[in-house]
Structure 1
Amino acid sequence: MSYQLRREDVIDVAELKAMLEHSPGKAAQAILAAAGQGVVEAQALLGQILLDGHGIEQDERLARHWFAIAAQAGNAMAFNMLGRCLEHGWGGEVDLTQAAIHYAQAADADSDWGLYNLGNLLATGRGVPVNQAQALFCYEKAAHMGHAKSMNLYGRYLEQGIATTASPARAVRWYRRSAEAGDFRGMFSLALVLVERGEVAEAAPWFERARGEGNLSFLRSALVTLQNAGPVLMSFAARYAEELERREE
């Protein structure tokens, strides 16, 4: 039986999001109904659950369709997620130029994720010309909005002096904020600078947390960094290698 919304029902998108945690099937039906009634936030949320297959059968092409509908209405989340579909080829062709356009629209709507994703394209020259100054602007703005991944990248720009004056002290502060906000790359960045300061004991738990929480791509790159960093980090390198081997089995 499909979920039907009555005219007198009050559509609370926050409530629908909470419902996804404990009753995803019922929530998906309610989101579908609300999206069909033109509730823009529900349309964007429908795109997300279709993309994830959460409470509903996964359908990347239909997810992209609903993100596009919500984006036409100016929804910041939809702008960002449509950009991700276009960047990664979810539900259709890859189009990095259009991805950058949609990320920029999300960024203009003060989406921290839109700023972060646009910054990544600007930093690497995918879909747009390389522009480190603009990438720095995106990361800095998102970092000040509390975006943990952007905090780490803003710290990197400060540490390495990319498109700005190098400021190692400020970089460490941002790495710490990123780590404390739960970003495993920020944890790793913080641990590395702590080792450079000779504070290996303080670095150790951050290395361990990053090892446990990081994804496979991170573990592979982190292992190379640790292996090339000298004898002091070889014990950490061994633990990262063990973790990587365990996950790849």
Structure 2
Amino acid sequence: MSHSPLTVEEWQAVLAGDPAGAAAALFDAARGGDAHAALHYGQCLLDGRGVARDPQGAFRWFVQAAQSGLAPAMNMVGRCLDQGWGVDETPRLAASWFAAAADKGDAWGLYNYATALSLGRGVAQDRARALVLFRRAAAMGHAKSQNMIGSFHEDGWAVPVNLDVAAYHYARAAEGGDFRGCFNHARMEIAHGRMDSAQRWLAEAARLGHARFRRQMAQWLNGREEAWLRRFAAQILSTDMAPA
């Protein structure tokens, strides 16, 4: 039985509804050859949203969508290969998929390929090229890439150290909702004595970040001389240890 493709508005309504119903609708459309549905159904399987978690199945659907030329799906194939989700961890293949997504202008593909280049993971290290790609992604509004540009300027990777430029990009990353950007922006605010602003962005970093990041954040705060920062660290750790 054939199905007429749904409009963007219709898909938005489906995805905003009951997770199980959304997963079923995506599966139906994906079986019918809809690449976008295959991508989103793969994400449902990867996350266990509305359907039992199945990373191997997710990888297969991402590959199917990627074979149609869908750049975000190419990026997700790369993510699976990079992280070992449903498939053996293979950084070299991951980098090639990230490069393919980046070539199509996908912001996440640009970010992930730039990350691979900056670390030399699965590809020869090339931080100058990585910075070019991070800048392309940042120009598209990609907050994590803004944060990475800040790190390049703070650490002197491929460019001279420039803390003012680093601070600018960290602020943009924080405003874009990147938790690492929030933390790095807070560090810069602390360095300039703007403690009220720093407290606000530390709280936002703790709210948005995952548990491992919060532990790293608390470790940094505990190494500071300011008593209020050490209290903030204790608050983060006590919140994470509290029963759900």
TM-score in same-fold range (> 0.5): yes
Residue deviations 1:185-236, cap 9 Å, x none? Answer: 11111111111112222211111221222211211222232233x313x422
SS at match of 1:231: coil
Matches within 5 A, 1:110-125: 110-125=105-120
1:166 and 2:161 matched: yes
Cα distance per residue 1:142-191 (max 9 Å; x no partner):
11111111111111112232101333222222111111111111111111
Conserved in 2, the CA contact under 8 Å of 1:13 and 1:42?
no
Given candidates 77, 84, 87, the residue that maps to 2:82 is 87
Judge conservation of contact 1:211–1:240 (CA < 8 Å) in 2: no
Give the distance between the partners of 1:147 and 1:15, measured in 2 at CA.
Answer: 26
Q: Which residue of 1 aligns with 2:228?
A: 235
Query: After alignment, is 73-82 or 20-29 more displaced?
Result: 20-29
Q: 1:25 to 1:247 in 2, by over 3 A?
A: same
Alpha-carbon separation, structure 2, partners of 1:14 and 1:189: 37
- Conservation of the 8 A alpha-carbon contact between 2:2 and 2:32: no
- 1:146 aligns with 141
Contact 2:219 2:233 in 1 (8 A): no
1:225 maps to what in 2?
220
Residue 78, structure 1, aligned to residue 53, structure 2 = no
* Change over 3 Å in CA distance of 1:17–1:51 after alignment to 2: farther
Separation (CA, whole Å) in 1 of partners of 2:237 and 2:217: 10
Deviation at 1:14, TM superposition (A): 5.2
Q: TM-score, normalised by structure 1?
A: 0.90
* TM-score w.r.t. length of structure 2: 0.91
Deviations 1:81-110 (A, max 9, x none): 111111111112111100000011111111
CA, structure 1 residues 73+173, in 2 after alignment: closer, same or farther (shift >3 Å)? same
Maintained 8 Å contact 1:20/1:27: yes
The match for 2:188 is 193
Q: 2:18 aligns with which of 23, 40, 43?
A: 23
CA distance in 1, matches of 2:58, 2:124: 29
1:179 corresponds in structure 2 to 174
Residue 137 to residue 198, structure 1, CA distance change in 2 (3 Å): same
Paired AA for residue 122 in structure 2: G
Q: Determine if the alignment matches structure 1 residue 216 to structure 2 residue 211.
A: yes
Unaligned stretches of 5+ residues in structure 2: none
Tell whether the 8 Å contact from 1:13 to 1:41 is kept in structure 2 after alignment: no
Identity %: 38
| Partner amino acid, structure 1, of 2:225 | P
**Distance (whole Å) between structure 1 residues aligned to residue 12 and residue 82 of structure 2:** 25
